[in-house]
Amino acid sequence: MESLISKTYKNDFVTTFAGDKTGDLTPRQTPGVLYSTVAPTPVSKPALLAWSEELAQQLGILKPITQQEIDVLGGNFVTESMQPYAARYGGHQFGSWAGQLGDGRAMTLGEWVITEGQVWELQLKGAGPTPYSRRADGRAVLRSSVREYLMSEAMHYLGVPTTRALSLVTTGEPVLRDMFYNGNAAHEPGAVVLRAAPSFLRFGNFELLNARKETDNLQQLLDWTIARYFPHITGEDKVLTWFKEVIERTATLMVAWQRVGFVHGVMNTDNMSILGLTIDYGPYSFLDDYDLDFTPNTTDLPGRRYAFGRQPAIAQWNLGCLAGALLPVIGKDALLEALETYNTLYWTKYYAMMGQKLGLDQVTATDIPLIKQLEETLATIKPDMTIFYQLLIELPLSLENEQAAESHFKDALYDELKPEERTRLYTLLTNYLARLNKNTIRRDDSQQLMRQANPRFILRNYLLHQAIEELESGKEDLFRKLQQALKDPYSKNFEEFFQARPGWASQKAGCSMLSCSS
C-alpha cells in the first residue's frame, strides 16, 4: 500500500505519443497530437466526501489522511512524477460526426502501477478547463459527481464491466449550470471525482486519427494498444484479431446492461470503451417500469436513439464507426465480415443470460419463443423490471387463475392490469411453469441461478436525487446508506429500498429524465 503523494507514477502514454506540451488551456484544435498537457485548476476548499476502500485495497492506495493527499484528489496538488494530460479524440454524437472532442473536464494524472503488467490510469473529472473544454469551464457539480461516483461502484458490484471511482471531493466553490438547457442556469456545489480504469481509450481516439488522415499516429496507437492491453494478440493479422475481440467485449457489455436494466443515455462513439467497459456516467438510469423505448436523456428526445431496447443495435452501429477508422490498416471486406459476427455473439450471450434470469438449466432453440413471449408481455404490462424478476423467483409452481397471477406480481405493477393484460400474463406464466417442469436441475438450484442473475437492489434515479438533495442541505445519511447497499445488490439486506418508484418521482426533474449536463 502506498500513498497518493509518495507513489512514483508512470506516464507511458505521454512519453510514447506526440502531444501538445505548451500547457496552453485555450480551447482549440490540436492536430497531429494525441493529448495536451494540462494542470488542474486549484479550488478553495477541497474536502473528502467519499472514498472507495475496496478499490483502494485492489490498487494498493492508502486512504488520504493529510490535506496534501486530499489536495491531489481535488486538483490542488500535482506530485513530481505526475504528468497530467487531456486526451484528444473525436466521435459520432447522436449519429453525426462531431469532429474533435477530447477530455473537456477530465485529466489523467498518471498511471498507477499495481504489479508488473498491471497498471491503472487515475483521472480527475471536474478539475478545470482543458484545450478540449470548448465553451465549458471543465468543472463538475456535486449532483453529477455523486451520480458518477455511486454508479461506477454500483455497476462493479452488479458484475457489469465498468470504470471505477476512487474518491469524491467537494470543492467549496459554486458552479453555474443550466441543468436542462432551458435558460434557467443556477449555481450548484462543485465536486471532483477521481476515476480509475486500466484505460480510458475510446472508439473516438481511433476515429479522429483516421478522419484527420493521421495514419502514422493511428498505426502507432493501434500497435501500442494491442501490446499493452491485449498482449495475447500477435501475428500479422493482429489488428483484425483485436477488432474481433473489441466486438466480443462490446457484445458482452450490452448483454450485461440489458440484464440489469441499465440505460446509458448517451452512447456516442466517444463514450465507447475499447476494453468493453461502461464509461462516462451522465444522464443514465436503470429501468423502473419495463419500457423498451425509455431513454433518460432529454437531449435524446424525440428520436430516442439511445433507448433501452436500442442499445445493442447502437453498439453495433458504433462498432461500424470503429471499423471505418481501421480502413487504412485492414481491408473493407475483412472488417465487414468481422462486424457481421456481432449479432451472433450478442444473441448467443443474450439468450444464455436470459436463461439464467429465468432459472433454466440450458437454453435451446425451443426456449427462444418463451423468452420472446416474456419480453413482449413485459413491454405490454410494464411492471417494475427489478421487482418482477424477484417475484418470479418465488413464483408458486401452480397458479389457480389469472387473478392469482396478478396478485403475485402486484408489488411490481404500476397500474392495475386490463383483462387482456391479465390473460397475457397468466398465459406467459403457465408456459414458463411448464418449461420449469422440464428442468434437469432442482428447483432450489434454479432459484439460485435466478438470484445470481437478478439484482434485488438497483441505484434508482429517485434515490440518487434524494441523496443529492440531502447532501446539498448538509445531510449524509442516505448517501452513506446507498454506498453500503450498492455493494450487496443481490441480497435481502437492504429491503427498505426494495420498492417500486413512487408516484411523485415519475415527473420530478432529476428523478426520471436528465440532460447531458447531469
Amino acid at 463: L
The C-alpha cell of 46 is what? 477541497
Longest Cα–Cα distance in the chain: 75
Q: What is the residue whose three cell numbers read 422440464?
A: 438
Three-state SS letters, 55-111? HHHHHCECCCCCHHHHHHHHCCCCCCCCCCEEECCEEEECCEEEEECCCCCEEEEEE
Burial of 159 (0-12, 13-18, 19+ CB in 10 A): middle
Helix (H, G, I), strand (E, B) or coil at 114: strand
Helix (H, G, I), strand (E, B) or coil at 346: helix
Q: Cβ–Cβ contacts within 10 Å for residue 215, how many?
A: 12
Rg (CA), the chain: 24
Given 20, 103, 270, 289, the catalytic residue? 270
Q: Cβ–Cβ contacts within 10 Å for residue 220, how many?
A: 16
Crossing angle, helix 238-260 and helix 311-325, to 10 degrees?
Answer: 160
Tell me the C-alpha distance between 94 and 207, whole Å.
Answer: 15
* Pair 199, 14: CB distance under 8 Å: no
Calculate the alpha carbon distances from 252 to 27, 228, 269, 304, 306 in Å: 36, 21, 17, 23, 18
Tell me the C-alpha distance between 362 and 431, whole Å.
Answer: 16
Q: What is the residue whose three cell numbers read 490498416?
A: 329
| Bridge partners, 87 (sequence order) | 35
Crossing angle, helix 215-229 and helix 238-260, to 10 degrees?
Answer: 70
Tell me the C-alpha distance between 462 and 511, whole Å.
Answer: 4
* Pair 34, 202: CB distance under 8 Å: no
Tell me the C-alpha distance between 128 and 34, whole Å.
Answer: 19
- 384 a catalytic residue: no
Tell me the C-alpha distance between 209 and 499, whole Å.
Answer: 48
* Pair 298, 514: CB distance under 8 Å: yes
Three-state SS letters, 484-517? HHCCCCCCCCCHHHCCCCCHHHHCCCCCCCECCC
Q: What is the residue whose three cell numbers read 495475447?
A: 232
Tell me the C-alpha distance between 13 and 122, whole Å.
Answer: 13
Tell me the C-alpha distance between 361 and 174, whole Å.
Answer: 55
Tell me the C-alpha distance between 313 and 319, whole Å.
Answer: 10
Active site residues: 270
